[in-house]
Amino acid sequence: MVEPSPDIVLLGDPRPGQFEPIVETIHNAVGRAALGRAADVPELCEPTTGARLHPDMIVVLQAWPDEYSTADVNSLIAQFPRARIICCFGPWCDSDGRSRSIWPLAVRVPAASFASRFEHELALLRARAEARQVAPPAGSSARAPTADGPLPLTASRTEIFDFDYHRGPERSAAHGPAAVISPDRAWREMLDAALAARGIEILEETGMARATVVFFDVDPWNELSAARLTAIRQAQSATRLIACTGFSHPQFEASLRDAGADDVRSKLQPLAGVVREATAVRPLQVPG
């Protein structure tokens, strides 16, 4: 069976550097041809555009507070009541939800956490499409299998947390070991536990030469941590090196990549998203 490909619309300006990983994540999941575009809510809701686009999911890019009005949000929800909505916001919008309530909390997702929420929503859409394909014949009492339900727009903070974090343990395919280097003991132990739950061997820092992926906590970022990041890169050129930080912006991410990081991830994003960085890496043949 061919995996269903939901129709997705990208709403907003994707040019700010902070949104490049968002667009790439969507392209990797559904391809470029399956992605619709709209510059703003009026364009998407305009009759001729609406006739062309029937999105299963709308990904909204919000670069600054009040970029979208309450009227915009109400129009979007009214025009596409069945579409899943993810409002992906940048760091300048962190106070939204506390100082203003334009978007429902259930759809607001920080850019650093987008991949995890997107993959969850995409899996639900595909499961729904597959259930339709295997629907029982008319008159049959059998029911097609269903996945866990979507997150309602009126969801509470507790329901949102459960949707994003409590999806049950997963086991990954074969992969190499990982090392977590961080002065933050609590965060290091949480990430170690999340990796171990996926069947990943956890290495101590003294044995990280065998690691196929290293998570390096760059906070606080200074000459010492920069030199250490570069040293790991030089010593382990074949290892996937992921820099982890509590707050990031495009210029800082560029500095981390210049110092040797392959990727940059927020320590505030769901652990499931961080763990995928390890499970996505193919096993490497490394010395014992």
Q: Is residue 142 part of a domain?
A: no
Report if residue 2 sits inside a domain. no
Task: Encode the chain (288 residues) as per-residue pLDDT tens digits.
Answer: 455 678 999 999 988 777 988 998 899 888 877 789 999 999 999 877 655 778 999 999 999 998 999 999 999 999 999 999 999 998 888 777 666 679 999 999 988 888 889 988 998 998 888 776 655 555 554 444 334 678 899 998 888 888 886 655 455 544 789 999 999 998 899 898 888 877 889 999 999 999 999 999 999 999 999 999 999 999 999 999 999 998 877 788 889 999 999 988 888 776 766 776 566 644 334 434
User: Among 58, 57, 59, 63, which residue's Cα sits nearest to residue 96?
Assistant: 63
Q: Does residue 141 lie within any of the structural domains?
A: no
Q: Are residues 182 and 161 in the same domain?
A: no
Both 219 and 154 in a single domain?
no
Domain span at residue 252 reads: 178-279
Q: Are residues 188 and 54 in the same domain?
A: no
Task: Judge contact between 178 and 278, C-beta under 8 A.
Answer: yes
- Positive or negative CA dihedral for 36, 110, 117, 185? positive
Q: How far apart are CA 81 and CA 85, in angstroms?
A: 10
Question: 49 with 182, same domain?
Answer: no
d(CA 270, CA 117): 9
Considering the entire predicted model, what is its pTM? Answer: 0.61
Give the bridge partners for 243, in sequence order: 216, 264
Q: Is residue 140 part of a domain?
A: no
Indicate whether 70 belongs to any domain. yes
State how many domains the chain has: 2
286 in any annotated domain? no
Residue 104 and residue 187 share a domain: no
User: What integer pLDDT is reported at residue 283 of this predicted model?
Assistant: 39
CA distance 264 to 266: 7
Tell me whether residue 288 is in a domain.
no
- Same domain? 227 vs 151: no
Q: Which two tokens stand for residue 221?
A: 């970022």
* Distance spanning both ends of the chain, measured CA to CA: 41
Residues 197 and 160 placed together within one structural domain of the fold:
no
pLDDT at 94: 77
DSSP 7-57: -EEEES---SGGGHHHHHHHHHHH-STTEEEESSHHHHHSHHHHHH---SE
Are 27 and 98 members of one domain?
yes
Q: Give the span between the Cα atoms of 218 and 252, in whole angstroms.
A: 11
Q: Before 220, cis peptide (omega within 30)?
A: yes
**CATH code assigned at 207:** 3.40.50.2300
pLDDT of residue 143: 41
Can you give the CATH number for the domain in which 84 is found?
3.40.50
* Within a domain: 254: yes
Same domain, 119 and 188: no
3-class SS at 195? helix
- From 94, 93, 103, 99, select the one nearest 41 (Cα to Cα): 103
| Residues 223 and 96 occupy one common structural domain | no
Query: 52 and 156: one domain?
Result: yes
